[in-house]
Structure 1
Amino acid sequence: MPEHQWRGRATLAAAAAGALVAASACSPGSTSGAGSGELAGVELLVAAKWTGVEQDNFTEVLAAFEEETGATVNYESTGEDTGAYLGPKIEAEEPPDIAILPQPGLVAEYAEQEALVPLSGDAATALEENYTDYWRELGSVDGEPYGVLLKAAHKSIVWYRPDAFDEAGVSAPETWADLTGETASTLSDAGVTPFSMCGASGWTLTDWFENVYLSQHGPEAYDQLIAREIPWDDDTVVETLETLAEVWGEEDWLAGGTDGAVQTDFPTCVTEVYGQENAAMVYEADFVAASAQEAGATVGEDAQAFPFPAVGEEPPVVVGGDIAVAMTEKEGVQQLMAYLASPEAQTTWAGLGGYLSANSEVQPDAYPDEFTQTLAQTILEAGDNVRYDLSDQVPSQFGATEGKGMWAVLQDFLRDPSDPEAAAADLEEAAASAE
C-alpha cells in the first residue's frame, strides 16, 4: 500500500469487535469441512497471558479446532510473568502442551533447556507456507523451527486528539522534523501540552528508542545492536538518544513536566489524553484503542492515530507479539500448532477484532475495520524493513526487567536527557552485565 494511503487511513477507527470472517481456502491445519473427530478423547492444555476479551476471542478460535478434531483444548492464564509460570512447570516436567510466549528470547532460552518440541509435519509446512523468512527465523533456534508468531502488535503509531490539533491549526506530521519543528512546538505555543508520557512503564520508553533507532539507522544496524555486534555505547545509540532528547528534553511538552513524564504509567498516560485532556498525543501501540475507549473516547472520531514519524529515509515498522511453541509430544499438539499457524485460525481471530496477524495468507478483508486492515498491511508490506521489538529479543535482565537495564537507564535519561554519551555507556554496562 502506498504510504499516502496509510496516512489517510490512519485516522479511521480501530474497532473492538466485528463480524466473524471464515477463510474459504484449505491449508495445513485447516478445519474446513465436516469434523473428522480424529482426536476424540485427546485433551490438550494451552497457556498464555491473555485474559478478558483476548482470552474469550482466543478460546473461540480454539473452538473450531475442537469441533473439527474432537479434541478438548483447555486454556490456562500464565499471568503477566510467563517465565514465572512456566519455570516451575518445566522443572516438574508438567508443562502445558502449548505455551504462548511474549518474547522471542524465551524461545531460545527454553530451546536451550530442551523444553521445546520443534515443529514438524503440517505445523512446519504451515509455518513455511504462511510466513516470510523474517518471521520464521524469529521463532527458530539454530535453524530449527519452534515458534509461530500468533498475535502481533503494531508499535509504530502515535495517538492524538484531533480537536487539539484543530485548535492549534496543525496536522499529523510525516517526519520527526515535522513533529518537533512544527506540530509539537505549535501545540505548545497554543497552550496545549503536546505529549503524555508513560515513563513509569519502562517498556514504553524502549519502544520510543526502537522506533527512532530503526528509522534513523536502518534494519541492519538494528539487528547488529540486538546481536551485540554493535555495542550500546556506539555512535548510533548516542545519536538516537540525542534525537529522543529533542522531545524528552522539552519539559513544557510533557504533561506534568519531567516529573509527570517519569511517574505516569500505562494506561494512565492514555487517560491523560482522552479522559483528562491534559495532552494532545500519546505514543504506544494499536492496543491504545481499548484504553482510549475506556477513557470515554470514540476511536476514529476523537481518538485518532498517525504513523510514527520517519526520522531517517523510511518510517519505522516495529512489531511486538506472542509466539506459540509446543512443549510436549502428546498426540494432537502438532495438529493444533498447524491450525494456529493457518490462515483459517488467524482469519477467525481477525474478524473478532483487537488482533493483528503476520501471516501472509490472512486477507485484508478479514479485519473488521479499515484502520486495522491498514495496520496489518503495513506489517506485511514493510518487507525486509519490519522488525520485532528489540527489547524482547535481548536478555530479559537487560530488555524487560523493571528497575534494570534498558528500562532503568531510559527512565533516568527521561529525567535528565542532557548527557546521551553517559546514558549510552550505562546501556552498554547493563547489556554486558546481562550476558
Structure 2
Amino acid sequence: MRHLPARPLRTARTAISGAAVLGLALTATACGGNVSAGGGKQELSGQSLTVAGVWTGVEQKNFKKVLDAFSEKTGAKVTFASTGDNVSTVVGSQIEGGNAPDVVMVPQVGVLQQFAKKGWLAPLSKEIDAQAEKNYAQVWKDYGTVDKTYYGLYFKASHKSTVWYSPDAFAQAGVKPAATYQDLLKSGRTLSDSGVPAFSVAGEAGWPLTDWFENIYLSQAGAEKYDKLAAHKIPWTDPSVVKALTTLGKLFGDKNLVAGGGSGALRTDFPESVQQVFGPQPGAAMVYEGDFVGALVKDELHKEVGKDAKFFPFPSVDGGKAPVVSGGDAAVVLKAGKNRKAAMELVKYLATPEAAGIWAKAGGYLSPNKNVPAGDYHDQVTRKAAASLTAAGNSVRFDMSDQAPAAFGGTQGAGEWKVLQDFLRDPSDAKATAHQLEAAAAKAYRS
C-alpha cells in the first residue's frame, strides 16, 4: 500500500507554532451548554469520540478550543490525538488494530482520495452537504469529493499566493507592490540596485519551488490547463509547462534577484528564507510563500505583522488572472470509528461559521468558509488573506503537488522536488526540465 505523507510544509508550520510532543492527547469535556450543533439539547451527552490530525503545538491548542465549544453544545466528550506527519500510516495502523479514530483531519487531497478508494470513509450526511452548499464555494466540495461521493469537509485552509515584503526595503528603494510578474521582476531589479537582493528563495526542500511553479502556471496557463496537469491528463512536456518554466527561470536565473543566487537558495530552508527578509540582518526584500509566513514572523522573529511585514497577492502573469493556490485540512468520518452519529455531528459543526470563528479569533488560521465574519479574524493582515481566499470563489486551486502521487509531488530528493531544485541551480533549459518532469511523473503515476 502506498502512503502519502503530509508535506514538509506541515513540518515547517509545526516548528513555527512550537511543536508539542507527538501523540499528545487533549481532551475536551462537556462544560454545560444547552444547544447542540444539531439543534437539540445536549443530545450527545455521555457519548465519546476521537479526532486525529497532524496538528501539534499552538495549532492543536487552538483546535481544542473548537472541540471545547462542540462539547459545550452537545455534551459529547471529544479527544484529539496528533498523528504526526504520517497521517496515512498512523490511521491505517489504527484501523487494522481496531482502534480507529472517528474523525480524521486529512491534510492532502491525495490522502483523502487514498482513504476513499480503500473504502475507509463514510459519505458525509445530507445535513453536512447542505451546510457546505451554504458556506463554501463549490470548488471546496469538489476537492472533498471522490467518485461523486462527498467525503471531506474543508475546515482549515492556507493561502499560498502571497508575496511577503519588508516595507522598509520597499520604501528605501522607492518601489511598490507589483500587480504583474513583469513589474515584479522590474521592482526586484530596482531593489537590487538599491543594495538588497529582491528575493530570498527557500530551495533546500523542493516544496517551495513547486509553489512558485504552480502560481505562475495557474495564472499563465489558466485553471483548465492547471486541472489537467494536476491530474496528469496532459504531459509535463506540454508547451504550457515549458512556457511557465521559462517565465520562472527569468527570476531563478538572475543572480541580482535571488539572494545568494541559485546555489545560495539551495542551501536555504524555509524558516531561513523568512529570516533573511525579516530578521535582524536583512539579506533580501521579499520572500514568496503562504499566509503561514506571518506566523513565523510574529512567533519566531517577534516582528509586527502589518507593520514590519506585509504581503501583496502573487501577481498576474502574461495577462492571466492573479492566481490563488491553496492547501487545507478536511474532516472525514471513518467507517471503522465507533461513534458515527457523533462524528457526523462534529463535522456538521465544523462546517459552520461559528466553529471557524473560534479558531479565527485565536489566530494562525484561515477558513474557506465564506460566511465567517471578517471581524472574527485575529488581525488585519489575516482578514486580508481570508478575504482574498474566499473572494476567489471557484477560481481557487488546490496545491498541485499535493494532488500528485507522493513519489512525484512530495518526496525530498526525488520527482518534481529534485527536478525543480536542479532547475533552480541552472534554469537555462526549460525544455529539458519539462522532459525530466514528465519522466518522473509518468513513473510515479504508473506505480
Structures share a fold, TM > 0.5?
yes
8 A Cα contact 1:29 1:338, kept in partner: no
Per the alignment, residue 63 of structure 2 pairs with 58
- How far did residue 150 of structure 1 move? 0.7
1:274 is matched by which residue type in structure 2?
F
Task: Report 1:265-304 matches (<5 A).
Answer: 265-275=269-279, 276-293=281-298, 294-304=300-310
- How far did residue 31 of structure 1 move? 6.9
CA distance in 2 between partners of 1:31 and 1:267 (Å): 42
Task: Report 1:32-47 matches (<5 A).
Answer: 36-47=41-52
2:311 equivalent among 290, 294, 305: 305
SS at match of 2:412: coil
Per the alignment, residue 5 of structure 1 pairs with none
Which moves more between the two structures, 125-134 or 404-413?
125-134
8 A Cα contact 2:122 2:333, kept in partner: yes
SS at match of 1:325: strand
Stretches of structure 2 lacking an aligned partner (at least 5 in a row): 1-16, 18-34
Per the alignment, residue 9 of structure 2 pairs with none
CA distance in 2 between partners of 1:244 and 1:365 (Å): 37
CA distance in 2 between partners of 1:122 and 1:228 (Å): 34
Per the alignment, residue 5 of structure 2 pairs with none
1:421 is matched by which residue type in structure 2?
K
Identity %: 50
Which moves more between the two structures, 308-317 or 322-331?
322-331
Instruction: Give the count of matched residue pairs.
Output: 406
- How far did residue 253 of structure 1 move? 2.2
SS at match of 2:122: coil
CA distance in 2 between partners of 1:432 and 1:329 (Å): 40
Per the alignment, residue 164 of structure 2 pairs with 159
8 A Cα contact 1:149 1:324, kept in partner: yes
Per the alignment, residue 216 of structure 2 pairs with 212
Per the alignment, residue 124 of structure 2 pairs with 119
CA distance in 2 between partners of 1:257 and 1:386 (Å): 31
CA distance in 2 between partners of 1:69 and 1:335 (Å): 9
1:94 is matched by which residue type in structure 2?
N
Per the alignment, residue 352 of structure 2 pairs with 342
- Render the CA deviation track for 1:184-232: whole Å, top value 9, x for unaligned: 1111112211111111121111110110000001111111111222111
Per the alignment, residue 227 of structure 1 pairs with 231
Kindly report structure 1 stretches of 4+ aligned residues shifted beyond 3 Å: 28-32
Per the alignment, residue 389 of structure 1 pairs with 399
Per the alignment, residue 330 of structure 2 pairs with 323
- How far did residue 259 of structure 1 move? 1.6
8 A Cα contact 2:135 2:351, kept in partner: yes
1:198 aligns with 2:202: yes
1:309 is matched by which residue type in structure 2?
P
- Render the CA deviation track for 1:74-127: whole Å, top value 9, x for unaligned: 111111222232232233343211111110111111111111111014223322
CA distance in 2 between partners of 1:356 and 1:166 (Å): 29
- C-alpha RMSD of matched pairs (Å): 1.7
CA distance in 1 between partners of 2:411 and 2:168 (Å): 37
SS at match of 1:251: coil
CA distance in 2 between partners of 1:329 and 1:413 (Å): 49
- How far did residue 313 of structure 1 move? 2.5
8 A Cα contact 1:29 1:340, kept in partner: no
Aligned CA distance change for structure 1 residues 90 and 434 (closer, same or farther; 3 Å)? farther
1:345 is matched by which residue type in structure 2?
A
CA distance in 2 between partners of 1:368 and 1:216 (Å): 33
8 A Cα contact 1:29 1:339, kept in partner: no
8 A Cα contact 2:253 2:428, kept in partner: yes
Per the alignment, residue 172 of structure 1 pairs with 177
1:131 aligns with 2:141: no
Which moves more between the two structures, 125-134 or 46-55?
125-134
- How far did residue 372 of structure 1 move? 1.9
1:322 is matched by which residue type in structure 2?
D
- Render the CA deviation track for 1:336-360: whole Å, top value 9, x for unaligned: 1111111211122212211111112
CA distance in 1 between partners of 2:329 and 2:88 (Å): 13
2:367 is matched by which residue type in structure 1?
S
Aligned CA distance change for structure 1 residues 83 and 91 (closer, same or farther; 3 Å)? same
Task: Report 1:349-428 matches (<5 A).
Answer: 349-428=359-438
8 A Cα contact 1:31 1:64, kept in partner: no
1:103 is matched by which residue type in structure 2?
Q
SS at match of 2:121: coil
2:262 is matched by which residue type in structure 1?
T
CA distance in 1 between partners of 2:346 and 2:135 (Å): 15
8 A Cα contact 2:36 2:43, kept in partner: no
Report the TM-score when normalising by structure 1.
0.90
Per the alignment, residue 145 of structure 1 pairs with 150
8 A Cα contact 2:306 2:380, kept in partner: no
8 A Cα contact 2:36 2:74, kept in partner: no
Per the alignment, residue 264 of structure 2 pairs with 260
Report the TM-score when normalising by structure 2.
0.87
Which moves more between the two structures, 421-430 or 397-406?
397-406
Per the alignment, residue 24 of structure 1 pairs with none
1:106 aligns with 2:115: no
2:251 equivalent among 241, 247, 250: 247
8 A Cα contact 1:199 1:261, kept in partner: yes
- How far did residue 252 of structure 1 move? 3.0
CA distance in 2 between partners of 1:29 and 1:98 (Å): 18
CA distance in 2 between partners of 1:193 and 1:29 (Å): 55
CA distance in 1 between partners of 2:331 and 2:420 (Å): 30
Which moves more between the two structures, 183-192 or 379-388?
379-388
- Render the CA deviation track for 1:17-76: whole Å, top value 9, x for unaligned: xxxxxxxxxxx97378xx822212211111111111111110001101111111111111
1:188 aligns with 2:192: yes
CA distance in 2 between partners of 1:352 and 1:74 (Å): 20
